[in-house]
Amino acid sequence: LVLGTVGLVFFACGAFATTAGAAFEATLSTAYTACQFFGWDWGQDHEPKDAPLFSASFLVAILGALLVAFTGMDPVKLTIYTTALAGFCLPFTFIPLLLVANDKRYMGEQTNGRLANVAAIFFLVILCTVTVATLPLFILSGFGGG
């Protein structure tokens, strides 16, 4: 109120800039992750013609975000659902990593030691507790609605 219309314009520009920056950061992160996972060329050191799959992944991520936006789905609810799903899935991704970390064929001298395994089992118990609690808590909360 103190800055009037000028303050509103500055706020709107700042809100747009931060939202757009976050959107581009999220889509770039999606493209980087996909390219790293599949072993494709990626990164800012490549021209788009030198890393076409990175450019395509970035474009697909933007189009996917636009598709979600145009469906009218509530982004907050979508975030709640995906976060609950991620929490539920954590042990299923952690256990294979723990197995590989203890396999001398893959890890050689870098195999987990006793202390690392104690810590890993401690966190695995926590992750399993989260997984078991996720579905009932999600239902009791009205599917994230409060």
Half-sphere exposure in the Cβ direction for 136 (13 Å, CA)? 5
pTM for the whole thing?
0.57
The lowest-confidence range among 23-27, 29-33, 114-118, 141-145 is: 141-145
- pLDDT tens digits, one per residue of 100-117: 999 999 999 999 999 999
State how far the alpha carbon of 90 is from the alpha carbons of 43, 110, 121, 146, in Å. 28, 23, 13, 23
Can you give the pLDDT at residue 145?
67
Could you tell me which residues come within 8 angstroms of residue 77 by beta carbon, excluding any fewer than 6 positions away? 144, 145
